[in-house]
Amino acid sequence: MGILGRGPTLGERPPSRRDRRQYGIKTRPPGPRRESERRAQMIILFVIVLVALVVVGIAAYGYYQSNIKPDQESVIRVGGRTFDMGYMERRLRYVIRTANPTDLVLRNSRSAVQTALDGAMSEELDRQGSPELGISVTEEEIDAQIRLRLRIPETADSSTFAESYRNAVKDSGLKPSEYRETIAAGLLEEKLRQQLRTQIPTNAEQVRLRDIRVVTQEDAQKALERLQAGEDFALLAGELSYDTATKGKGGEMDWQARGQMPPEIESVVFALEVGQLSQPLYQYGTYYIYQMLEKAVDKEVTPDQRQQIEEQSLTTWRTGISQQVEVVTYLSQAQFDRLVEIAKSAGSEASGG
């Protein structure tokens, strides 16, 4: 027995579970101090976890804002379809990778960006407008065009086709669905052109003109005033016009057939009488002053004219579709500048620079 009859002395060490069982020592429940300590520890742990979650959340949000969100921002809407920044970046790289060595897109980054934007809009206008003309492209036609483009023989088995196709998609930088869309778009445009060609007449009303081309409306108005005051058109064209193809010839142009010029220009020009001057006309960043030199009611359309009429007919048709479905551009200056930088990098890689 211990000194006070409380059992044996256990020394300084705390009683073990065996000691408690052997000598009947009861364990007292933790006191208020231990409970408050445990609560404090739980609160500290909760705060640590919460802070960690906040830090991770901020990092994730920052990554989303800087790396994911910009790619998901809309830059173009054609009818009910929207194209985001990520698509335009892939599209731009594809335009540069598939360009010929002499193409302007490899030398001018801004031109490359505009080509990619215009291409995306034009293709979507074709897709949305072609059904009204009864024009479509089948999956079989797309596969056949891919075989032709990749030079895969008709006798090649499906595994050979699949491997070549995978490599082509990878090299393009596009998603598989986007790659097929570009192939389909080329086929669809050719079908549209074929239909438009059938509408080009063998002979057409034509006019022979000369023009002065300047950049600003102010310069155009000053040129018109000088012409109206009696100055020679040819001399003034040589002095003022920036068009190197015509200024050396006094501004004289080749014969222009009906359908060869933009409709808003053509309606004014074809109404002029011989010798008459037009008011300044604006088109694609240029102001024009025309003078009528000669008219022909029924003149043969040359191959070059047919090609230009075809191009203008397709442009006019797309303009009509864009007025039906609505085309909206959301591209900001910052986004455009970002695409220009991508074009510079991709152009350098494509040219081996």
Which of 72, 95, 128 corresponds to the end of one domain?
A: 72
- Give yes or no: residues 192 and 331 share one domain: yes
What CA–CA distance (Å, rounded) separates 176 from 143?
Answer: 13
| CB 232 within 8 Å of CB 291 | no
What CA–CA distance (Å, rounded) separates 297 from 292?
Answer: 14
Q: Is the pLDDT of residue 340 over 50?
A: yes
Q: What are the tens digits of pLDDT across the range 111-151? A: 999 999 999 999 999 999 999 999 999 999 999 999 999 99
- Ordered alpha helix ranges (H), the chain: 17-23, 32-63, 69-72, 85-97, 109-129, 139-150, 158-172, 176-197, 217-228, 233-240, 244-247, 263-269, 303-325, 333-350
Torsion of CA 86, 89, 90, 94, to 10 degrees: 170
Q: What are the tens digits of pLDDT across the range 65-104? A: 544 455 569 999 999 999 999 999 999 999 999 999 888 8
Q: Is the pLDDT of residue 54 over 80?
A: no
Residue 108 resides in a domain: yes
* Residue 102 structure tokens: 């002499």
Residue 123 resides in a domain: yes
Domain enclosing residue 68, as ranges: 31-72
Q: Tell whether pTM > 0.85.
A: no
pLDDT of residue 28: 56
Q: What are the tens digits of pLDDT across the range 175-233? A: 999 999 999 999 999 999 999 999 999 999 999 999 999 999 999 999 999 999 999 99
Residue 116 resides in a domain: yes
Provide the CATH number for the domain around residue 246.
3.10.50.40
- Give yes or no: residues 139 and 282 share one domain: no
- Give yes or no: residues 44 and 63 share one domain: yes
Residue 333 resides in a domain: yes
- Give yes or no: residues 64 and 132 share one domain: no
